[in-house]
Amino acid sequence: MIKIRNVKIEDLSQLVSIEHLCFSKEEAATREAFEKRIRIIPDSFYVAEENGEIVGLINGPVIETAFINDDLFSNIKKNPSTGGYQSILGLAVHPQFQKHGIASKLLRHLESEARMKNRESITLTCKENLIRYYEKHGYLNNGLSSSEHAGEMWYNMIKKLP
């Protein structure tokens, strides 16, 4: 059974290894970046666990603007208790556990927490191949982002929370 819970510092090594299985070296969050996010925003960093093993993760700070900028990948602040925009900087599922709905569960969990805290929307950037996936989850494509993260093209995907 998959369980979604908030991150703990003990998860660090497993998170780094999943991130590197899922992303290129340029895209992957570093150990230092994860450490910082666990310390500063544990309230919007969730992991999916199966039989005590971490199989997926989702994380991102609450920000003051509707769109993500590259500065966030290295520079984050504590989340306000309510309001703001919930960003997603990372969503990854261990390759052996993909296509079982785990990313969808992580997205739904983050979304329900964001609703409870009256966040205005959820905002993320993705590559072209995942636009449809996020659209199925109710996100709208807001076109190309100014992000040059890892030298790739990214699209702004936004889901408003009524």
Ligand X SMILES: CC(C)(COP(=O)(O)OP(=O)(O)OC[C@H]1O[C@@H](n2cnc3c(N)ncnc32)[C@H](O)[C@@H]1OP(=O)(O)O)[C@@H](O)C(=O)NCCC(=O)NCCS
CB of 95 to ligand X, least distance (A): 7
Q: Is 114 exposed, middle or buried (0-12, 13-18, 19+ CB in 10 A)?
A: buried
Give the Cα separation of 17 and 69 in Å (integer). 25
Nearer to ligand X, 81 or 135 (CB): 135
Mask of contacts with ligand X, 137-156, x by CB under 6 A? --------------------
Let me know: does 7 contact 38? Beta carbons within 8 Å: yes
The piece of 67-75, 98-106, 115-123, 141-149 that touches ligand X (CB under 6 A) is 98-106
Count CB-CB contacts under 10 A for residue 13.
11
Give the Cα separation of 15 and 46 in Å (integer). 11
Give the Cα separation of 45 and 69 in Å (integer). 19
Q: Tell which one of 25, 96, 99, 116 touches ligand X (CB under 6 A).
A: 99
CB of 50 to ligand X, least distance (A): 12
SS3 57: strand
The piece of 60-68, 86-94, 115-123, 144-152 that touches ligand X (CB under 6 A) is 86-94
Give the Cα separation of 79 and 40 in Å (integer). 8
The piece of 1-9, 79-87, 101-109, 112-120 that touches ligand X (CB under 6 A) is 101-109
The piece of 9-17, 34-42, 69-77, 129-137 that touches ligand X (CB under 6 A) is 129-137
Residue 25 binds to ligand X (criterion: CB under 6 A): no
Binding site for ligand X (CB under 6 A): 22-23, 91-93, 98-104, 126, 130, 133, 136
